A and B are shown apart, each in its own frame.
Chain A
C-alpha cells in the first residue's frame, strides 16, 4: 500500500486533455484558412509540429526528463500550431522550422520547460523571425492561393521558385502602405471598397478565418479552459481605441470591425493572450493584461513599423505579468471588507 493522501477522487483531466481542447478549438479557424486562403497552411502545421516534437524530444533527453509523459502533454503541438498560423502560409519550410525550434528550445526549455516560460513561445518565434527575416515574413498571398496544393508545397519546400505575384502583403499592411503612399489623398473607405484584397469587413477571406478563431475561442470559454476576462479586455480595448480614432477621422483610420477581424486580433485575444503560463492569472490582472495587449497591438499595427502588433504587444505584457499579478491579488473569502 503506497502512501497516498486525500483527495482520493480526482477529476478526469490532464495537461494533455487541456492542450487537445486548445487544438480542437483552433480547428474552425484552420478550416476557414484552408478553404479561403489555401491548403498550404496544412503543410506549415505539419512542419511546425515535427519541428516542435523534435526540439521537445531533444531538450527532454538532454535534461533526463521522461520522454513519454512530456512529449504527450501536447503543449509543444499547441505552440507549433500557433506558430504555423502566425507565419505566412507560403513561408519557406526552414523558416517555420527554425522559428519553432527557437520557440521550443530557447523560449520554452532554456527557461525551464513546461510552465516556466515567462514569454509566450509562439510569439517569441514570430518576433525573432520578423526581425531576422522581415522580407520573408511579410510575403503573404494576395488573395487566396489559386494553385494546386502540390505547387504550394513545392514553394514551401523551395522546389519551385517563389513567385513574386503570389506574395503580397497582409490586408493590414496593404491598408497601411496605401494610406502612407497616398499621403491623405485617399480615404480608408475608398481603399477598402476598391482593392481586391479587402472583403466585407476586413481582409478578404481572413475575416472569416478570424471568425473561426472567435468560434474556437468561445468553445474554450464554454469548456472553462479560459475565462472571459482576457479576450473581452483585449477586444474591448482594441474596440475602444480604434472606435475613438475612427470616429475622430474615418478617412484616416479603419473601423473597429476591420481591426478586430484583421491580423492576429482574434487568435491573439482567445489563444495567445490567454496563455496562463506567460500571462496573468488573477481576474483583475487578466483584465489589465488583455486590455494592455489589445491597446499595444493597435498602436503598433497603426502607428508602428510592423504590419501587425499582436506578437509584440503580448510579449511586452508578458514582461509586466508577474508584477500585475502581484498587485492584483484578489481578496479572499471573509476578507473582502478589508481589501
Chain B
C-alpha cells in the first residue's frame, strides 16, 4: 500500500555488509561447555538469584527473580547443574563484573513443564505479569522490560504502534532472517501487543534493503487476517533508531525529555514480539536469541544461541580468521569491543563481529576540527556536534548541555563523516559520564551539607537547653536560699506584716539570680567561642622569621611617627 513517509534529517549510508550472513538459514548453535548467565540482563532492578551452587535446573527454570516492576526474570537456558553463582566479567565496555549463574549443561536440554496460555482469556495485568516472569525484554538492544511498555497511557490515546524491523546497522541480519523464517510468530506476537495497547494503527517498518523480509511479513499479516501496515522505509542509518523510525512512519518527533507514549506512539522490536508470542503460546521463557556472527570470519551466519554462551565458543562456529583480535558486540556503528572473548551472549547481543584491523582499519590521526559542519548535517537529532566537541574538549560541560548533549543517541554518524577523523562520539560519552559523575558528587556534597547543618542546629539547641537547665538550677538554688533567709527572719520576728514583705521580696531575688546565671552562661559561651575562633584562625603575625619581624618593627615605628601628625593636619584644616 502507498503511505506518506516522513524524513528525518541527517543520517549516513555506510556499506551495509549484510549479504555475507544472509546466505544460509538460521542454525541452532550447539550446546556450549558451560553457560554463564548474567542476572542483570535488562534495564531496571537486578534480579535476585533463586538457585545456588549444586542445584539441578531444567531448561526454562527460573534462576533470577525479577526485582520490582521494571525488571525481568532470568531463566536457565538449558538443563544441567549450577556450578556457582559468582561474579563474572560482563559483555560491557567497562569490563566490570556482575553476578552470574554458571550452569554446566547435562546435554539433555530438558524443558520445564510448558503450558500454552490463551491470552485472550487473561486480564491485561496477567499477560504483563506473565511476560515479566518469562523475561521478555526489548531485543533491539536496549533490553527494556517489555511488560513495562504495555500499559496504555491514561491521558494520551495510543495512536500508532511502531514495530521495528528496520535493522539499519551494517553487518546485522538477525531480524531480517527472523522475519523471513518466522514471520507468522512475529505477527502473532505483534497481535498480543496490539490487544494490550489498542492502538489505532500498527506500522511495521522494514528498511527497503530487506524485500524478502517485507514480503514474508506481508504474507503473514494477510494470512492471519491482520490489518498491520508493512512499510518499507528508505535504507538510511540510523532509520532503525526508535525515534528515527517513529519519525519516518508517523512524522512525530520524540525529544529526549519525553517518552514516545506522550505522543501516542509505542515502539517494539520484531524479535521482542517473537519472544512474547513464544512466552504466551508455548510457555517458553526467553532463554535464547538469534545472533548474527559476521565480520572477519570464514562462514558468517545467523545462529539461535542460548543466553550465556561464551562468545568465543559461538565465534568458533563461523571460523574466525587468524588475524581476529577481538569481538565487537552489536553493529560497527554503535557496538563495542568486548573486554575479553569469553564474555557471555546476553539478551542484548544481536550480533558478534570478529574484529581485525583489516576490516576495521584504525582511524588515522585526529586532525583539528575545521568546522566544516559535516557532522551537523549527518546528525539525526539535528545537534551541532562540532560545538559540543569544542566544549567537551574544554571540559565546559555546562555548555555541552546547552547544546543538548543528552539528546545525542551516540549513533556515530558524526564520527563516521568527520574529515578530521575526530572520535566525536567518544568525546560526548566522556562529557556525559563526567556530567553524571559531577551530579553524583554534588548530590553527595549537598547531602553532607544538610547533615552538617542539621548537626549544628542540634548542637545549638542542646546548648540552649543546657543553659536553660543551669539557669533553672541556679534559680532554684537562689529561691531555696531566699526561703531559708525568710524562714530565719520569720523566726526572729513576730510581726506578721513583715513576713509578707519578705515573701514578696523572695521572687525578685530568685528572678535576679536566674538572670545572673543566664548572663554568666552566655558570657562563658561567648568567651569559649572567641577562644575557639582565635585558635582556629592563624594570624599572619605568627610564625614570622627574624627578617619579617624586623620589617614589622620598622613599619610600626614609622606609624608611630605618622599617626600623631595626622590628627594635627585634620585640625588645621578645620581651623
Bin chain A's interface residue count: 35 or more
Q: Which of B328, B334, B370 contacts A15 (CB 8 A)?
A: B370
Whether B15 lies near A9 (C-beta < 8 A) is: yes
Q: Give which listed residue, B254, B325, B335, B421, contacts A14 with CB less than 8 A.
A: B421
The reply to whether the CB of B152 lies closer than 8 angstroms to some CB of chain A is no
A108 to chain B, nearest CB (A): 11
Q: Is the CB of A5 within 8 A of B426?
A: yes
Partner of B373, one of A15, A17, A281: A281
A to B CB contacts below 8 Å, 10 in the list: A4-B337, A5-B426, A7-B415, A8-B355, A9-B332, A10-B416, A282-B376, A329-B403, A332-B382, A333-B381
Establish whether residues A336 and B253, one from each chain, have CB atoms under 8 Å apart when the complex forms: yes
Task: Evaluate whether A11 and B381 lie within 8 angstroms (CB atoms) in the complex, with A281-B386, A333-B9, A333-B253 already known.
Answer: no
Which single member of A17, A281, A335 contacts B371 (CB below 8 Å)?
A281
> Contact: B370 with A10, CB < 8 Å?
no
Residues of A within 8 A of B371 (CB): 115, 276-277, 281
What residues of chain A lie closer than 8 Å to B403, measured between beta carbons? 329
Assess the B333–A7 pair: CB atoms within 8 A.
Answer: yes
By beta carbon, the residue of chain B nearest A7 is: B412
Of residues 290 to 339 in A, which have CB atoms within 8 Å of B's CB atoms?
329-336
- The answer, yes or no, to whether B8 is at the interface (CB within 8 Å) is yes
| A83-B426 Cα distance, complex, nearest whole Å | 37
Find out whether the CB atom of B384 lies under 8 angstroms from the CB atom of A329: yes
Number of A-B contacts (CB under 8 A): 139
Q: How far is the CA of A261 from the CA of B486 in the complex (A)?
A: 119
Q: A18-B372, A69-B367, A281-B384 are in contact. Are A9 and B416 (CB under 8 A)?
A: yes
Contact flag A73-B367 (CB < 8 Å), given A333-B253, A334-B243, A335-B255: yes
Given A8-B332, A332-B404, A333-B255: A14 touches B419 (CB 8 Å cut-off): yes
- Check if B256 sits within 8 Å of A11, measured CB to CB: no
A13 to B377, CA, bound (A): 15
With a cutoff of 8 Å between Cβ atoms, the chain B residues found around residue A255 in the complex are: none
Contact with A along B8-26 (1 / 0, CB 8 A): 1100101100000000000
Q: Is the interface of B mostly helix, strand, loop or mixed?
A: loop
User: In the complex, which of the residues A7, A70, A333 contacts B425, with contact meaning CB atoms closer than 8 Å?
Assistant: A7
A324 to B363 CA separation, bound complex (whole angstroms): 34
- Cα(A10)–Cα(B12), bound, Å: 11
Chain B interface category by residue count: 35 or more
Q: Which 8 A-B pairs have the closest CB atoms?
A: A334-B255, A7-B412, A115-B368, A334-B253, A8-B360, A333-B381, A8-B332, A276-B371
Question: Bound complex: CA of A332 vs CA of B379, how far in Å?
Answer: 10
Contacts of B382 in A (CB 8 A): 330-333
| 9 further contact pairs, Cβ within 8 A, besides A8-B355, A18-B372 | A6-B412, A7-B14, A10-B363, A14-B421, A73-B367, A114-B367, A277-B371, A281-B373, A332-B381
Residues of B at under 8 Å CB distance from A?
8-9, 12, 14-15, 93, 170, 243, 247, 253-256, 258, 325-326, 328, 330, 332-337, 353, 355, 360, 362-365, 367-374, 376-377, 380-384, 386, 403-404, 407, 412, 415-421, 423, 425-426, 429
A7-B416 contact given A2-B362, A15-B367, A75-B370, CB 8 Å threshold:
yes
**Nearest chain A CB to B49 CB, angstrom units:** 32
Q: How far is the CA of A1 from the CA of B360 in the complex (A)?
A: 12
Inter-chain contacts of B376 with A (CB < 8 A): 281-282
User: Which B residues lie within 8 Å of A276 (CB)?
Assistant: 370-373
A13 and B418 alpha carbons, distance in the complex (Å)? 7
Contact B421–A5 (Cβ < 8 Å): no
